[in-house]
Structure 1
């Protein structure tokens, strides 16, 4: 009993001391205090009163749960807010009117929005809010700051007034998933602004606790922390973040999150478990797979630290499985929200296929080759054009490693047609266009036009004529590109040339051979209604001939 009474007295004394300090601070800044002179006001261009932003930061003190441990953390967090007051001493900090409802918040419309394209809103689906009135008030204030953090001006003001320290304190003590999500969302938006990411990195203990959030069981929190880590790993301080992600348990968790947030069977269920953690799954693939892309496309130092252990843990098979899933969805139904995911997966695989250390493992997969070929054969490419261009580069990398894959598609006319139809989407990407011509040249190099049967010969002609406009536009609009690539095949001119030139030479040869053999055909029709127009053949042949002559004369 005496111990309980002594403990109670200590708590009362702490509360009295806390209240006295608060009264002293309020006396220093009474409500009737006259406004400071103009030269002492905040030098911030914003339509939101800086004092209002600061008052919101103060309202984000960790919610006291009543336990001694939480109470101590709360007292420590109050010390952080004393720092906020000290930072803002030259301004008018009026917290009496700090409710979100009392202000009309507007963004600075003169600001550039290019740096905040990756910021997210604080909105959450209806019915997902809950908790005590204190926690709900915290959510209201936090959501306002989450949205304000999308503006660079507001974000800088928030960092100057110790928002990171306040959020760090909340992440240390809060058990509320919603509070953690808001904290992570604010940090994620702050990280999108150039320069502020360094403040996150320099806040003692913050990055460590952010990495620890990967082991939460809330999908929204996981989405936000993946977004933060992707931004960090892709920034100038990528090596700093990579060192925190290096432990095997962290990398395993990242792979597990990426795999299970895309698994169709798991998405339909209420929850899954990796043995230690249970997670209710929502659709959050962009953030979870984006962190893998950030690692793969990151700085060389990041690659050296993280790619080898990730490959050992099964990164290749994971990416192929994810691509297989996306392709299965794409062939059944078109869901625009999934297109960015497909592109992220392909970019990650393509980057690995171009790596000297890991290309062989990626390029040796027949399953991957078939998946990429299936994507290239899609009839309507407009919605996934970027993914098809990336797939073209990946195919070029794979065929340079595994020439034995070429016979599998050498007479796949829909695949050849798909390669040509992808060229217009790569009009602004010289390297991608060269990669597509490289694949086309490799396929056509295997064609012996003098020996193939008339049906196959006519099929090639039909493909060329159906894509004649694309071929002509590419030859006319693209400047000649110097290339050190030497033909590995025997062509009449025996010239050193680019893959495009090799392909065009072969197309002309096939067209000429058809002209010679056409009289042997009983009728100039193939597949019923598909006729071959002699004038079209001549026009394309002349175009190819002019291009080859221009190359030889240069």
Structure 2
């Protein structure tokens, strides 16, 4: 359809003057049923009601606005590459514009530049720089009410499929092109985001000419909630079977730099999580997506952006425990963990001593169970780094609080086999550097006391691992040798430390006397380690 033509097929299809359903039994304000009066999709809501909601979202002035501004479809498609090139980029704690002027960066509150993000608190949500025309607040409230109902309904697969069969994408596209209300934009993007979660509607979104480009353009809005919905929608697209098409739409340095800029500069916690989540999805996507987007993101400073975000969240975490920010830390570490596992890019993290120190301190945090997911990502990241830089393990072996935090991860790792394997891998590398025979008795007491106090956690993990391996053997599967080797090496080192301590009891030192009451626990851990070490070595 050519925008601005005299006959609008959307309005023709959803003409409010259509006759009521056969026999006049349907409400006059509802659209008529299809000619066969049958719907192929069964829904829990009257289909005619859903169609009436779609009609109510059609902007009444869509054709007039398109004519008055002379907007054509090809203009919209080209708009990504024609955006204002004066976008600011991050330079330390400041924002540096392409003209060379420096502005203090206060989150996303930047006064100059139409493409800059701004905190919308206190502003009129109806005010939008993209159009001078305004709709009344009452009209917008009515539209919002119907839009929110449709947003909720679109979460259902059957409802979503009915919607796309009845031109909802055409109606939503029209709103994206002409609306000057950020709340309307948020609702439209939210509805499309829900539709994108279903296979059939996703195919309709991809097949709708120019719609993906219009969606990508919304990354340049200045409203945090709209940007959250854009990121969620793009995330769904990259998770779908149509991911290659979405990746190609994002394959622009201008667009990717905008995503990075948003993630680093917004003060909105939800938007940080959504934007970093989108970056994480790109890193973890299928190879066809990774090959298209990751090289450009790395060139634009993805590693540096993730490190800066992680460093900032760790400062907040160590100074105050803000529950709403835990999910942000999870998203950042998930992205860092995924990137560290890619051979071509792992060296950037391995050589970053500050990053290593941050994840090291994270594992040592008291009450780490509050950020359990982050700790599990942290140990996987540490294991990846140690595989490239094993010498770091020596300094780690001197810090018993880290070993304690490491063992405590067993208490909440649950079914995360990768995290549990990573813990054993790190323990093996640490204990290899422990020279029990050259160790002072007070120092050995600290080691033994710590290990014995974690007997239950160690035994539970070993029993669970044994059951998992037996089940795999029954199914004809085998595990990687390195995973079992890490446990075996760790257990042998624990056995050596405990045996050395046991032998020293005949020397009758005061330190030994203080610990004599715990001999039964030492023997229990020693027996457990010997039994499982023998099984793992068989």
Aligned to 2:81: none
Check conservation: 2:65, 2:178, Cα contact below 8 A: no
Equivalent of residue 188 in structure 1, options 187, 190, 193: 193
Equivalent of residue 334 in structure 2, options 322, 326, 347: 347
For 2:498 and 2:235, how far apart are their aligned partners in 1?
Answer: 51
Shift in Å at residue 29 of structure 1?
Answer: 4.7
CA separation of 1:512 and 1:40: change in aligned 2, threshold 3 A: same
**Alignment: residue pair count:** 463
CA separation of 1:37 and 1:394: change in aligned 2, threshold 3 A: closer
Q: Mapping of 1:276-287 within 5 angstroms?
A: 283-287=270-274
Does residue 418 in structure 1 map to residue 415 in structure 2?
no
Does residue 51 in structure 1 map to residue 48 in structure 2?
yes
**Can you list the C-alpha shifts for 1:11-59, whole angstroms capped at 9, x where unaligned?**
9xx89x99x9899983655896466899733344334221121112112
For 1:202 and 1:533, how far apart are their aligned partners in 2?
Answer: 70
Equivalent of residue 425 in structure 2, options 432, 438, 459: 438
Gaps in structure 2 of 5+ consecutive residues: 27-32, 74-119, 127-134, 470-477
Aligned to 1:26: 17
For 2:150 and 2:491, how far apart are their aligned partners in 1?
Answer: 59
Equivalent of residue 524 in structure 2, options 510, 514, 539: 539
Does residue 169 in structure 1 map to residue 174 in structure 2?
yes
Aligned to 1:139: 144
For 1:329 and 1:339, how far apart are their aligned partners in 2?
Answer: 10
For 1:461 and 1:176, how far apart are their aligned partners in 2?
Answer: 65
CA separation of 1:194 and 1:73: change in aligned 2, threshold 3 A: farther
Check conservation: 2:62, 2:178, Cα contact below 8 A: no
For 2:13 and 2:40, how far apart are their aligned partners in 1?
Answer: 27
For 1:214 and 1:257, how far apart are their aligned partners in 2?
Answer: 9
Does residue 312 in structure 1 map to residue 299 in structure 2?
yes
CA separation of 1:38 and 1:253: change in aligned 2, threshold 3 A: closer
Check conservation: 2:176, 2:185, Cα contact below 8 A: yes
Aligned to 2:203: 198
Gaps in structure 1 of 5+ consecutive residues: 1-10, 77-123, 262-266, 268-280, 488-496
TM, length-normalised to structure 1: 0.76
Aligned to 1:390: 377
Q: Which has the higher contact order (CA 8 A, sep 6+)?
A: 2
For 1:550 and 1:185, how far apart are their aligned partners in 2?
Answer: 54
Aligned to 1:371: 358
Check conservation: 2:442, 2:511, Cα contact below 8 A: no
Q: Mapping of 1:81-100 within 5 angstroms?
A: none
For 1:74 and 1:248, how far apart are their aligned partners in 2?
Answer: 25
Check conservation: 1:190, 1:196, Cα contact below 8 A: yes
Shift in Å at residue 500 of structure 1?
Answer: 0.3
For 1:159 and 1:321, how far apart are their aligned partners in 2?
Answer: 41
